[in-house]
Amino acid sequence: MAEELDIDEDNVRVAVIQYSDDTAVYFNLKTHRSKKAIIYAVRSLRHKGGIPRNTGAALQFVQQNVFIASSGSRHLEGVPQILFLLTGGESNDDVSGPASDLKQLGVLSFAIGMKNAKQEELQKIAFSSRFVFNLPVFGELLSIQPEIAAFVKSEIQTEPPTIVDMIFKHSLSIFFLVELDPTQRDIVFLLDGSDDTRSDFPAMQSFAQRVVETLSIGESKDHIGVVQYSKDPQTHFSLNTYMEKQDVLAAIRQLPHKGGRPLNTGAALDYVRNNVFTDSSGSRTQEGVPQILILLSGGRSEDDVTSAAVALKQDKIVPFSIGSRNADILELQTISYIPSYAFLVSHFHDLGIIQQLVSFVKRVPRQPGIKPLEVLALSLSLSLSLPLVMSSLLDNLT
């Protein structure tokens, strides 16, 4: 993670704290001023050990001892404060109060749990539901690292508090407000309409509808487009066609199955990049709105998908891939933004996969861009304070 950040005294600062029954600072935000020094210090960390796991006390500790000016925090200068909590299990003490205090301070807390971590507790700790990751094994940490690094490295748009904020949010009135959960997303469904999916097509439609039902559709909110393909692709509606959720749901419900063969997924990926994720079709990529592609496929492509997938990612489009029947998981992973964004299901009615997909989709961060009326806003993209709290994870390896 540190290798991808612009670490120095005037840009990103990093601290590392480890805890179990008590909390220990390994280095604070002003200890190391170069990337090389940070990486060396992290590699030299020794496992702390100890029981029980007091996560609540550790959160209170970082608020009172790390996010302060004497430890190198630049909070009073409006520099975003970001906390990564890595934990391998449930806390022995209460986390609610300390988590609430961090949020009131404006700290953006990510809660990353593994093995025996409790989802409900992680949600209490995280600043937003987008910042919760509950992983089954330690090896999955690498799968979320690109997503987290993209958030940290992206331009974080900040603006001074308004009069309303100063009246109703007095505790935050001296700080900059940071835009978080992007309520705007451009999402395109790419549906396999080949002969092989004729019997599965109603389930695909239902899958897309269930995803849409979880979103906020509107002129200044989420926009949806749908493309169906087999030998060649066909746009059913673009990102700027419907601005009401009921209209989107009705249009998906009325989709006719296209039919045809062979299945040319590579050509379809090129098509959506060149014809759907465009300004004329309603894409808001120039405004920094996340560009998301959801592929539903029932088989292996007859053409190459590699170059088309690379081109999508280079254009900052984030593909997710869901395959059934004869779909190839390696092909789906090639297409997807990261391998964990690829899913192989026995049928498209799998509610668990839908919930997991929606969770990932809502975590896709905004891209740097110019939004309307932001000319008068302040842009703070060069300075971040990044404390990293490390739990005694090795306790869970034995």
Instruction: Please compute the mean of the pLDDT values over residues 71-76 and round it to a whole number.
Output: 82
The predicted pLDDT at position 10 comes to 72
Q: How far apart are the first and last CA of the chain?
A: 26
The predicted pLDDT at position 92 comes to 92
DSSP annotation string for 201-212:
HHHHHHHHHHHH
Instruction: Please compute the mean of the pLDDT values over residues 214-242 and round it to a whole number.
Output: 94
Of 79-93, 157-171, 291-305, which range is least confident? 157-171
Instruction: Please compute the mean of the pLDDT values over residues 75-96 and round it to a whole number.
Output: 85
Cα distances (angstroms) measured from residue 32 to each of 17, 19, 45, 190: 14, 20, 14, 47
DSSP β-ladder status, 384-391 and 132-135: unpaired
Of the candidates 45, 8, 119, the residue with the CA atom closest to the CA atom of residue 386: 8
Instruction: Please compute the mean of the pLDDT values over residues 16-37 and round it to a whole number.
Output: 86
Give the Cα separation of 382 and 155 in Å (integer): 8
Instruction: Please compute the mean of the pLDDT values over residues 175-203 and round it to a whole number.
Output: 76
Does residue 307 carry a pLDDT above 90? yes
Instruction: Please compute the mean of the pLDDT values over residues 62-82 and round it to a whole number.
Output: 84
The predicted pLDDT at position 151 comes to 67
Instruction: Please compute the mean of the pLDDT values over residues 309-335 and round it to a whole number.
Output: 91
The predicted pLDDT at position 338 comes to 84
Of 89-103, 137-151, 300-314, which range is least confident? 137-151
Of residues 311 and 161, which shows the higher confidence score? 311
The predicted pLDDT at position 243 comes to 94
- Residue range 241-289, pLDDT digits in tens: 999 999 999 999 999 999 999 999 999 999 999 999 999 999 999 888 9
Does residue 169 carry a pLDDT above 80? no
- The most confident of the ranges 159-173, 320-334, 373-387 is 320-334
- Non-local (6+) Cβ contacts of 76 within 8 A are 69, 174
Does residue 396 carry a pLDDT above 60? no
Confidence band of 58 (pLDDT split at 50, 70, 90): very high
The predicted pLDDT at position 397 comes to 40
Does residue 52 carry a pLDDT above 80? yes
The predicted pLDDT at position 4 comes to 60
The predicted pLDDT at position 372 comes to 35
